[in-house]
């Protein structure tokens, strides 16, 4: 387990670690906003006289903004660079955080939450993209997953901030406004990091690309820098096209199925019903309001701890194995939650079972689907089309997030809580099968190698067809 840290210590260098950590602040913004609103809403409701519909909009408009943010940044990651897109994302985030904190009515708050969403959507895919393009293959899993660690830390931090400001005058304004700090940290931090070698090579700035790669691999005895540079140049050369319709060519299709499938299932196993509604679910077990909020913190801590385990294991055990183990685990947890809510006897005699199942669920998500989705979409697509393909996968992820989050309470109403968990169990089984049959191992392979494997046959067929 210590392999990743040891390798990073022996062969990583200060620049690589610094840029990976700064880029991962993007994940912190994402996580913080995911978590902060549930607590803040309790106070916004009264202060701004928000109806239930208004409250739903305050929560979900961020997800709509994120879908659009991902779409816009697909272009800006190519045109303006990964680096400057992230600087802009941090700056917009800081402005939107202040705007939210100073909102005097519901429409103003909804407007600034939308702006926040634009920034979160952007950060959510440019962060993994940036880190995957600066990392050597054997450290890529752990470094890209710093981002997921930042997401889960952001969620936990938001619970603690909600708790800290619950009795301070201004309550929700502080909870939302304090997010200006990570926004500024991201914007300022990103100004200090270099462009990725791949983006520079794509722009024909070869000398700079080589220079940055050399700096990133200084002290790294394990990487053949010449070989890495050559592979990158070749990949850039062969993948010059970058139009949206190239996403749907036969060569791209198998890659897109994996990316979009992971995006869809990451949300449709119900993770955010747990993140957003954990207190509500726990209250359903007979706990008081404050008791259920306190127990939610356990869920947040479990999420962070098991993401750390994932960071340490992804480059050793491999993505696929963790994905399958994690998905099997969360399927069992979902079935247990279904049975729990279905059986009055269990609810009466074993109310702790719900908390255990929730913690087991989140631990399983955290070692598998949580980090693996973001990691894989940064690995499987060819350079020339990467930003568009990652953006599409990210948009599907945010759209699925929006659908699941906005339908959970209604669906529970229709088919009962146990029914809802059984539906998620069924979806998790389908997810497991999809991963088992479709998702390749990407550990310790160059980005070029992975793509060749996924589309190799078709690429040859197409090239042969073109020559005839």
d(CA 407, CA 142): 34
Residue 23 or residue 209: which is nearer to ligand BGC going by CB? Answer: 23
Residues of 187-209 as b/e, b for ≥16 C-beta within 10 angstroms?
bebbeebbbbbbbbbbeeeeebb
d(CA 22, CA 382): 25
Q: How far is the CB of 148 from ligand BGC (least distance, A)?
A: 6
Those residues with Cβ within 8 angstroms of residue 404's Cβ, 6 or more apart along the chain or in another chain:
267, 268, 270, 272, 273
Residue 151 or residue 179: which is nearer to ligand BGC going by CB? Answer: 151
Residue 277 or residue 422: which is nearer to ligand BGC going by CB? Answer: 277
Name the CA radius of gyration of the chain, rounded: 22
Q: How far is the CB of 313 from ligand BGC (least distance, A)?
A: 16
Helices (H), 249-368: 253-268, 271-283, 289-317, 319-342, 344-349, 352-367
d(CA 452, CA 238): 12
Q: What residue number has its CB nearest to ligand BGC?
A: 370
Those residues with Cβ within 8 angstroms of residue 181's Cβ, 6 or more apart along the chain or in another chain:
none
Burial classification of residue 152, based on how many CB atoms lie within 10 Å of its CB (0-12 exposed, 13-18 middle, 19 or more buried) = buried
User: Do 159 and 35 meet the contact criterion of CB atoms below 8 Å apart?
Assistant: yes
Q: How far is the CB of 370 from ligand BGC (least distance, A)?
A: 4
d(CA 363, CA 340): 19
Q: How far is the CB of 118 from ligand BGC (least distance, A)?
A: 17
Taking CA atoms, 345 is separated from 32, 110, 359, in Å, by 37, 43, 21
Q: How far is the CB of 115 from ligand BGC (least distance, A)?
A: 20
Residue 69 or residue 382: which is nearer to ligand BGC going by CB? Answer: 69
Q: How far is the CB of 441 from ligand BGC (least distance, A)?
A: 20
Q: How far is the CB of 25 from ligand BGC (least distance, A)?
A: 16
User: Do 244 and 260 meet the contact criterion of CB atoms below 8 Å apart?
Assistant: no
Q: Which two tokens stand for residue 109?
A: 């708050």
Q: How far is the CB of 165 from ligand BGC (least distance, A)?
A: 22
How many CB atoms sit inside 10 A of residue 342's CB? Answer: 15
Residue 329 or residue 370: which is nearer to ligand BGC going by CB? Answer: 370
Q: Which two tokens stand for residue 195?
A: 């462009």
Residue 189 or residue 326: which is nearer to ligand BGC going by CB? Answer: 326
Q: How far is the CB of 119 from ligand BGC (least distance, A)?
A: 16
Q: How far is the CB of 373 from ligand BGC (least distance, A)?
A: 6
Helices (H), 12-145: 14-47, 52-79, 82-101, 106-134, 137-144
Residue 90 or residue 371: which is nearer to ligand BGC going by CB? Answer: 371
- Residue 269, classed as helix, strand or coil, is coil
Q: How far is the CB of 307 from ligand BGC (least distance, A)?
A: 7
Q: How far is the CB of 271 from ligand BGC (least distance, A)?
A: 5
- Residue 462, classed as helix, strand or coil, is helix
For binding to ligand BGC (CB under 6 A), which residues are involved? Answer: 34, 148, 151-152, 266, 271-272, 275, 303, 370, 397, 401
Residue 85 or residue 148: which is nearer to ligand BGC going by CB? Answer: 148
Residue 213 or residue 367: which is nearer to ligand BGC going by CB? Answer: 367
Residue 48 or residue 404: which is nearer to ligand BGC going by CB? Answer: 404
Taking CA atoms, 189 is separated from 89, 100, 181, 392, in Å, by 12, 23, 12, 27
Residue 245 DSSP label: G
Q: Which two tokens stand for residue 257?
A: 């199925």
Residue 397 or residue 451: which is nearer to ligand BGC going by CB? Answer: 397
Residue 125 or residue 229: which is nearer to ligand BGC going by CB? Answer: 125
Residue 394 DSSP label: H
Instruction: Supply the DSSP string of 33-50, one letter for each residue.
Output: HHHHHHHHHHHHHHHTT-
């Amino acid at each position: 387990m210590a392999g990743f840290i040891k390798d990073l210590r022996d062969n990583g260098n200060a620049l690589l670690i610094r840029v990976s950590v700064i880029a991962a602040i993007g994940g912190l913004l994402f996580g913080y906003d995911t978590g902060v609103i549930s607590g803040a809403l309790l106070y916004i409701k009264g202060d701004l006289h928000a109806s239930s519909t208004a409250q739903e909009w305050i929560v979900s408009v961020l997800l709509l903004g994120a879908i659009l943010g991902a779409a816009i940044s697909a272009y800006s990651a190519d045109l303006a660079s990964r680096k400057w897109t992230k600087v802009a994302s941090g700056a917009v985030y800081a402005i939107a955080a202040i705007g939210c904190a100073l909102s005097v009515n519901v429409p103003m708050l909804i407007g600034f939450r939308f702006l926040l969403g634009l920034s979160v959507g952007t950060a959510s895919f440019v962060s993994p993209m940036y880190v995957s393009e600066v990392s050597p293959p054997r450290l890529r899993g752990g470094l890209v997953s710093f981002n997921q660690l930042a997401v889960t830390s952001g969620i936990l931090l938001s619970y603690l901030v909600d708790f800290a400001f619950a009795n301070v005058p201004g309550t929700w304004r502080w909870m939302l406004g304090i997010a200006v700090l990570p926004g500024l940290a991201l914007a300022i931090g990103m100004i200090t990091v270099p462009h990725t070698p791949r983006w520079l090579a794509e722009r024909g700035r070869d000398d700079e690309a080589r220079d940055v790669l050399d700096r990133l691999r200084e002290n790294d005895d394990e990487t053949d820098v010449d070989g890495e540079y050559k592979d990158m140049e070749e990949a850039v050369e062969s993948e010059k096209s970058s139009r949206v319709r190239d996403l749907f060519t036969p060569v791209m299709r198998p890659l897109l199925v994996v990316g979009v499938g992971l995006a869809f299932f990451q949300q449709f196993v119900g993770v955010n019903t747990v993140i957003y509604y954990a207190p509500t679910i726990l209250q359903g077990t007979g706990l008081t309001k404050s008791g259920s909020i306190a127990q939610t913190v356990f869920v947040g801590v479990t999420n962070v701890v098991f993401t750390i385990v994932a960071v340490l294991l992804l480059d050793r055990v491999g993505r696929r194995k963790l994905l399958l183990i994690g998905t099997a685990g969360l399927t069992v947890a979902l079935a247990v939650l279904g049975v729990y809510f279905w059986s009055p006897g269990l609810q009466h005699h074993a109310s702790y079972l719900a908390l255990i199942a929730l913690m087991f669920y989140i631990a399983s998500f955290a070692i598998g689907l949580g980090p693996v989705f973001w990691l894989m979409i940064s690995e499987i697509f060819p350079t020339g089309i990467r930003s568009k393909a990652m953006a599409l996968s990210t948009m599907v992820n945010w759209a699925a997030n929006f659908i699941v989050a906005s339908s959970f309470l209604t669906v529970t109403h229709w088919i009962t809580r146990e029914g809802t968990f059984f539906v998620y169990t069924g979806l998790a089984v389908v997810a497991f099968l999809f991963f088992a049959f479709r998702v390749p191992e990407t550990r310790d392979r160059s980005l070029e190698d992975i793509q060749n494997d996924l589309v190799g046959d078709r690429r040859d067929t197409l090239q042969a067809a073109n020559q005839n």
